Structure 1
Amino acid sequence: MQMEPEIRDRGEFEPLDSCDERILAVINELHHRDDPIPNDLNERVEFVLELEAALDAKVASVFRPKEMTLVRGDADLAVSQGDPTSITFDCEAVTVMVTPRPAASRELRLDGWIGPEGTYGVELRSPQGTRHVSSDESGRFVLEGLPNNEIFQLVIRPSEALQREGLPAVVVTPAVRL
């Protein structure tokens, strides 16, 4: 597509001048102040790339409900706005909800639930290493002694019985910070 000469003379096609450079400098300063690049960005990227290279898996996304939802309580299902500290990961066949709770000085306990119900192998990957647990028949699992403010990623492996029912062999969550 060729531009008409009168369009080519508009300011958007002119070289940058000192006013443009000042505007770009202000925008750059705002980005550095209000949305800085995380100090551990390289570590995060390497962590995710390593996992993707090692596994051929379904990747779950973080689910953020916008309206009232049913959540599991200690006794019964209760209607609430959801626990603000809970994180829900969702893919087409599996949903994982985790709630980090303070356990000891600088440590967290991660309570988790996986649906549909059944037994799952749960692997927590972090820069500190890998931890393995299994869920019970209801899909509930607990990981204790986790460092606070650490990046983690879950690798979920449904039992063979669940895989025969159509669940993928591996589900991976995005890396998030506790």
Structure 2
Amino acid sequence: MSGTDPVGASAGELLDERDAQLLRTLRECHELLDPMPESLVQRSLFALAVENVDAEVFRLAERYRLEAAGARGGEDGEEARVVTFDSDSLTVMIRISELGGGVRIDGWLAPPQECRVELRSGERILNTGVDAEGRFVLDAIPRGLAQLVVRLGESLTGVGGQSILTPAIVL
């Protein structure tokens, strides 16, 4: 390294085997003491999969658990989560209920309008229509990270207007 010009040299030319070993040891320490979260890759893929860069994004407005009501559930009652997302033009409320090994989502749009809702969960994309009252249902959804995309002005098979995206949530 004595003959290498430090100003004009690339980073690779300035590193020797001792430096490379030190960097490998440092990487091993980080992997052991502060490993990458398991969901980081999946969350990053969700972010990269957004088709419409100019799409409006929902804000998570409220998240809470309903108390076990016992009305439709078993002996222990039914436990559900209600999550509300809002944007400048639309509010979406979803109720997430246990359903066998997965979940069921009952959702409502305000103001109500017919359109299409897409649920992205891992490699799966589920589509459903929203009725004139703004209601939609998605059944038999596997647990895991998921994201809703509301396709305004779009029927189940048509091409439409603006898309509104929720942040990814854990079902």
TM-score range relative to shorter protein? 0.5 to 0.7
Counterpart code for 1:94: L
Partner of 1:42: 41
1:81-96 alignment runs, 5 A limit: 85-96=81-92
Aligned residues: CA RMSD = 2.5
Per the normalisation by structure 2, the TM-score is: 0.62
Structure 1 residues 153, 65: closer, same or farther in 2, change over 3 A?
closer
Counterpart code for 1:152: A
Partner of 1:111: 106
Q: Unmatched 5+ residue regions in structure 1?
A: 1-27, 67-82, 161-167
Q: Unmatched 5+ residue regions in structure 2?
A: 1-29, 65-78, 155-160
Does residue 140 (structure 1) correspond to residue 135 (structure 2)? The answer is yes
Instruction: Classify the secondary structure of the residue corresponding to 1:118.
Output: coil
1:44-101: CA deviation from partner (whole Å, max 9, x where unpaired): 11211221xx2131011100279xxxxxxxxxxxxxxxx9711111100100111110
1:97-122: CA deviation from partner (whole Å, max 9, x where unpaired): 11110122x11111101110111210
1:138 to partner: Cα distance: 0.8
Instruction: Classify the secondary structure of the residue corresponding to 1:92.
Output: coil
Cα distance in structure 1, aligned partners of 2:80 and 2:88: 23
Cα distance in structure 1, aligned partners of 2:48 and 2:90: 22
Q: Is the 8 A contact 2:80 2:98 kept in 1?
A: no
- Which residue of 113, 116, 121 maps to 2:116? 121
Partner of 1:13: none
Partner of 1:71: none
Does residue 172 (structure 1) correspond to residue 171 (structure 2)? The answer is no
Instruction: Classify the secondary structure of the residue corresponding to 2:126.
Output: strand
Partner of 2:57: 59
- Which residue of 73, 95, 98 maps to 1:99? 95
Structure 1: 4+ residue segments shifted above 2 A: none
Per the normalisation by structure 1, the TM-score is: 0.60
Q: Is the 8 A contact 2:80 2:97 kept in 1?
A: no
Matched-pair identity in %: 34
Partner of 1:151: 145
Question: Which of the pair is proportionally richer in helix?
Answer: 1
Cα distance in structure 1, aligned partners of 2:133 and 2:42: 34
